[in-house]
């Protein structure tokens, strides 16, 4: 899978309902064609690094194997400067 990160106004009014998440929340957005749906908890791993996020939104530009993470979640896997991670493993 692929991961990117999103922030600020991109997080307003999440499609899955609830309040607007912050950059520090462990959340993500997925494609509407993703195997993961609203409120699922998804664990992403990259080597020895792992993060579990709650799906709170949809990502219009994401493929079914792409998750857009909050800054805090992305930083559990890599520095924000990497921007886009490839070859991630996903599980529920």
Overall average pLDDT of the 20-36 stretch: 94
Number of Cβ atoms within 10 Å of the Cβ of 24: 11
Q: What is the pLDDT of residue 8?
A: 75
Task: Give dist(CA 76, CA 15) in Å, integer.
Answer: 24
Q: What is the reported pLDDT for 75?
A: 98
If one compares 15 and 8, the residue with the highest pLDDT of the two is: 15
Question: What's the token pair of residue 14?
Answer: 């999440």
Average pLDDT over the chain reads: 94
CATH 2.40.40.10 describes domain 2-91: yes
Q: Is the pTM of this model over 0.75?
A: yes
pLDDT at 92 over 90: no
- Residues with Cβ < 8 Å from 78, sequence gap 6 or more? 46, 49, 85
In which band, very low, low, confident or very high, does the pLDDT at 11 lie, cut at 50, 70 and 90?
A: confident
């Amino acid at each position: 899978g692929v991961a990117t990160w999103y922030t600020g106004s991109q997080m307003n009014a999440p499609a899955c309902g609830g309040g607007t998440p912050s950059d520090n929340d462990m959340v993500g957005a997925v494609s509407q064609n993703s195997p993961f749906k609203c409120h699922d908890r998804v664990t992403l791993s990259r080597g020895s690094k792992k993060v579990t996020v709650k799906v709170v939104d949809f990502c219009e530009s994401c493929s079914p194997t792409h998750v857009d993470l909050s800054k805090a979640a992305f930083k559990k896997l890599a520095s924000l400067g990497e921007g886009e991670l490839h070859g991630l493993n996903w599980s529920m």
